[in-house]
Amino acid sequence: MPRPRTFDEDRAVDAAMRVFWTAGYEATSTQDLCDATGLGRSSIYNTFTSKRDLFDRALRRYVDRFTTAQLELIQDTAVPIRERVRRILWAAVEPEPDDPAGCFVINTIVELGPTDADVVDLLDRDHETKLAALATAIRAAQATGDVDPAQDPTGLATYVFTVLGGLRVSARRGADPQSQRAVVEATLRSF
């Protein structure tokens, strides 16, 4: 009869998520995961079967959390579209204080995108969901006169997410918050 687990699996995935977010998949060792989660190697492998399984679960956790939060903001019609976009971008300028620098998704695309079709498929589907939601919100704002109707909603939404990615990469390299704010303000002039 197997012994019952004596740890919180969700907490272990969250801890692993932060390690992978910071160091990437290849640079994260099993010992790094043991140190972060407080679990022994056997507990990690018995629960998650492999480093890759734990990575996949951590990446999905990150995507689910951040996508849910972004979609809630994008679809909040009580907030003007320009302010919704500002908040999306501002999350890269002033992230949660205990979050690692940059973006786990972007870091993963750079590291694994060229060689891992499964990761690319997951992240592409996630991106398309957010892109479509923002384009829909922009169309609605055009209908009410809040956004210039001459703007291409999909192009504008793509621009916002491209800027967001750039801000996160810049944050990873230690960009000055003042320069990040200037980028946000320049982007908002499109709205």
| DSSP per position, the chain | -PPPP-S-HHHHHHHHHHHHHHH-TTT--HHHHHHHH---HHHHHHHHSSHHHHHHHHHHHHHHHHHHHHHHHHT-TTS-HHHHHHHHHHHHHS--TTSPSS-HHHHHHHHHTTT-HHHHHHHHHHHHHHHHHHHHHHHHHHHTTSS-TTS-HHHHHHHHHHHHHHHHHHHHTT--HHHHHHHHHHHHTT-
Q: Is the pLDDT of residue 177 over 60?
A: yes
Q: What is the mean pLDDT of residues 124-139?
A: 97
pTM: 0.88
Domains of the chain in sequence order: 59-188 (1.10.357.10)
Query: Mind listing the pLDDT tens digit for each residue in 8-51?
Result: 899 999 999 999 999 999 999 999 999 999 999 998 888 898 99
pLDDT of residue 7: 65
**pLDDT band for position 97 (cuts 50, 70, 90):** confident
